[in-house]
Structure 1
Amino acid sequence: MSIDQDAFAAPSLKSRIHGCLLGGALGDSLGYAVEFDSIEAIRSRFGPHGLTDLTTLEGGSHFSDDTQMTLYTVDGLVEALEWANDGVGADVNACLWLAYLRWLGTQGGPAHPAAPAPPPRWIDGNEVLRHRRAPGNACISGLAGGEMGTIYRPVNPDSKGCGTVMRSAPFGLIPHISADAVYKFSADAASLTHGHPSARQSAGSFSLLIHHLVSGHSLHAAAAAVLEDVRGLKDVASELPERLEAAVSLAGEAVLQPEELVRQLGEGRVAEEAFAVGLYAVLATAPGAGSGVSPEEHFRAAVALAVNHSGDSDSTGSIAGNILGALYGEDCLPKAWLEALEAPEVIRGMADQLVGVTTA
């Protein structure tokens, strides 16, 4: 099935940036409420269809470390672009490392004496980002060692957790740079915390998907382009193309039940599984041309599919929300969900900063 993209106006870059960051936070928030719950427990709490509406959560919604780290990725990129706009070359990965070190400080972890002490920026003054929301072990340990990880000097060399891919959408939101540059920036940043090839390749490929969407590709064309990109990677970890090919292929069949989704694509705990589940959820619920299904209806269906399973629901929900927001812009975001979202002003604040340095 394919989306009739002529049925809605192409969104502006500003709308795509806001849509991607807010959409990811909405998917993260829905998934965080059921993260690592079994599908049986989810159905017991929310009914046979699981959790499908952010407004039904008692006590309000909360986003996780996925949104926190995504926003700190934005901050690192904004700082690098601020330097560039002033005519000064900056090491992009060093800016991201400093941003992630400031995030580490919000999580209560002691700074390594060998690590630099970066000066605070606007993002650090937002108390909501200081909550500890189940941060990934590799993200914490990779930053706590005091050494800047690289592809050639990896930290956590055996780790391929989803903590890389869930934070990597912002790289695809930067206009006027090549696909190769998007991939390199994202993969290099993944190496700051995770050393396994699949972790950085999954992060880079997810950023490429966002890049293709922001560049105006249709959803299916963007997915096909990423598959082609992945097949062409040097020394690609075999599990990544296998998972993505399965996600694209299965999306053309009947929608998988949660038990079968996990069996076919995994629980989303590692990078290639999280990317595959999030992408599958968006593709499997994509409306056909002339169906009359609105972007908001697609968003609701895809995010519900992405989070209702026995796995890492916040990361898979976040990835699905990022994809949909980059595709449709803000028009796909349910207004009632935005009203229920935790600290939307912080997310919009970071989105506006990224808009400011990329469209000035």
Structure 2
Amino acid sequence: MSTEPGTTPAPRPLPSAPTPPVLSHGSRIHGCLLGGALGDSLGYAVEFDDITAIRARFGPAGLQDFAALDGGSHFSDDTQMTLYTVDGLVEALEWANSGVGADTNACLWLAYLRWLGTQGVPLPPSAPVQPPRWIDTHEVLKHRRAPGSTVLSGLASGEMGTVYRPVNPESKGCGTVMRSAPFGLIPYIAPESVYKISADAASLTHGHPAARQSSGALSLMIHSLTAGRGLREAADYALGHLRAGNLGRNESPDAALLERLEGALRLAAQPGQPGNPAARGLLSPEELVRELGEGWVAEEALAVAVYAVLATEPDPTAAVSGRPEAHFRAAIAVAVNHSGDSDSTASIAGNILGTFYGEECLPAGWLQTLEAPEVIRGMAEQLALVTGA
């Protein structure tokens, strides 16, 4: 750029965040569930490996693609429980659409109990018996895929946990937040209601405030994306809800959750972003764990996923072609390659980006290797139907 002698060039304007895409709600539902399953499946291959073992197996960049896995990968309990969350919501909405009020949390509890029965855990005599539904007919959901012990013990108690009387009151494992994206996919309800039903459902298995609040925060972020907000805007909105203390039962925001989520947003906004992920100084896997944690507990899983999504956001001034898929691949790679709960962090990242972009961001080659896509699409179609999408 040339200027007159003695004059100062005008500063270049900073790039703005990518414009949120205009999508059908059905596309967002399919994108959320399929995107979460893809992240879960890639991460499940290395869930219990530290970053040294991941690099030794897949090279310095770690696991980047399903092509590196002989025979692909299964999805884990994260996807199983997410789909059962969908089923519980579908049943509650079916009752509502027929003019009959239903206890949403009871519908979710019954759905989770049916999932528990697929895991080889005896149901206590006090647990109610429910007739099987469409989701229960698929063998792929009956395999045991490393479910969390807290989830199993909470459901096996036969007690329907509540916010006021939670089971496992000190537990805040990520087994809550990794199943909570579907709550944000219900349109036409207030954000406060989205938060409440998500937090209430977390109390079915985990009682710690961080577990409830992390679940509610993810659901709010998903709900914000369906309303047309951008990625950072949606994350800021969820964080603002927590800071404002709109959490019910006079509950204060969990300090660890605020610290992790604020850290994710700060670290993802380092100088040079948004821009080329390869040139902007992404955190190394070691730095990621040091700053945000390994993801085994709820607030860490949410923070790692949010960082992965925001830190890899593409430069809006770059060519548009292939941007959604490139962003999805880059974010999932960050969410998978660390010493921690790789399937849960990548599953949440996939939920977020699938909601934001819809199915457009999902790599076709990855979908071809995905386990039981017809089951995931079937549940997405059911949710789309009862929500009028």
TM-score of the pair, normalised by structure 1: 0.98
2:145 aligned counterpart, secondary structure: coil
Kept in 1, the 8 Å contact 2:292–2:303? The answer is yes
Compared with structure 1, are the counterparts of its residues 44 and 2 closer, same or farther at alpha carbon in structure 2 (3 Å cutoff)? Answer: farther
The one of 276, 284, 295 equivalent to 1:268 is 295
d(CA) in 2 for partners of 1:86, 1:56: 48
Displacement of 1:5 = 1.7
RMSD: 1.0
1:76-112 superposed Cα distances (whole Å, 9 cap, x missing partner): 0000000000000000000000000000001010000
Displacement of 1:3 = 3.5
| Residue in 2 that maps onto 1:110 | 122
| Residue in 1 that maps onto 2:24 | 12
Compared with structure 1, are the counterparts of its residues 2 and 269 closer, same or farther at alpha carbon in structure 2 (3 Å cutoff)? Answer: farther
| Residue in 2 that maps onto 1:222 | 234
| Residue in 2 that maps onto 1:80 | 92
1:302-343 superposed Cα distances (whole Å, 9 cap, x missing partner): 000001000000000000000000100000000000001000
Displacement of 1:2 = 4.9
| Residue in 1 that maps onto 2:382 | 353
AA of the residue aligned to 2:214? S
1:262-288 superposed Cα distances (whole Å, 9 cap, x missing partner): 000000000000000000000000012
Count, aligned residues: 358
d(CA) in 2 for partners of 1:53, 1:46: 10
Question: Is 1:322 the counterpart of 2:336 in the alignment?
Answer: no
d(CA) in 2 for partners of 1:152, 1:2: 43
AA of the residue aligned to 1:230? L
| Residue in 2 that maps onto 1:283 | 310
| Residue in 2 that maps onto 1:343 | 372
AA of the residue aligned to 2:352? I
Question: Is 1:334 the counterpart of 2:346 in the alignment?
Answer: no
Displacement of 1:154 = 1.2
1:227-306 pair list within 5 angstroms:
227-233=239-245, 234-253=251-270, 254-292=281-319, 294-306=323-335
d(CA) in 2 for partners of 1:4, 1:145: 47
Say which is worse superposed, 52-61 or 135-144, in terms of deviation.
52-61
2:196 aligned counterpart, secondary structure: helix
d(CA) in 1 for partners of 2:159, 2:256: 28
1:203-214 pair list within 5 angstroms:
203-214=215-226
Percent sequence identity is: 71
The 4+ residue runs of structure 1 with deviation greater than 4 A are none
1:74-153 pair list within 5 angstroms:
74-153=86-165
Say which is worse superposed, 286-295 or 60-69, in terms of deviation.
286-295
1:71 aligned counterpart, secondary structure: helix
d(CA) in 2 for partners of 1:11, 1:28: 24
1:5 aligned counterpart, secondary structure: coil
| Residue in 1 that maps onto 2:214 | 202
Say which is worse superposed, 215-224 or 97-106, in terms of deviation.
215-224
d(CA) in 1 for partners of 2:224, 2:66: 29
d(CA) in 1 for partners of 2:192, 2:238: 12
Compared with structure 1, are the counterparts of its residues 2 and 251 closer, same or farther at alpha carbon in structure 2 (3 Å cutoff)? Answer: farther
| Residue in 2 that maps onto 1:63 | 75
Structure 1 unmatched ranges of 5 or more: none
AA of the residue aligned to 1:287? P
d(CA) in 1 for partners of 2:63, 2:72: 14
Say which is worse superposed, 213-222 or 76-85, in terms of deviation.
213-222
Kept in 1, the 8 Å contact 2:30–2:358? The answer is yes
Displacement of 1:55 = 2.8
Kept in 1, the 8 Å contact 2:58–2:68? The answer is no
d(CA) in 2 for partners of 1:92, 1:297: 37
d(CA) in 1 for partners of 2:288, 2:16: 21
Hey, which of these two has a bigger chunk of helix by percent?
Answer: 1
Displacement of 1:352 = 0.2
1:111-162 superposed Cα distances (whole Å, 9 cap, x missing partner): 0011101110000000000010000001100000001001111100110000
d(CA) in 2 for partners of 1:285, 1:2: 14
Kept in 2, the 8 Å contact 1:278–1:320? The answer is yes
d(CA) in 2 for partners of 1:297, 1:247: 21
Displacement of 1:223 = 1.1
d(CA) in 1 for partners of 2:98, 2:156: 31
TM-score of the pair, normalised by structure 2: 0.91
Kept in 2, the 8 Å contact 1:2–1:287? The answer is no
Kept in 2, the 8 Å contact 1:55–1:340? The answer is no
| Residue in 2 that maps onto 1:179 | 191
Displacement of 1:36 = 2.1
Rg comparison, structure with higher value: 2
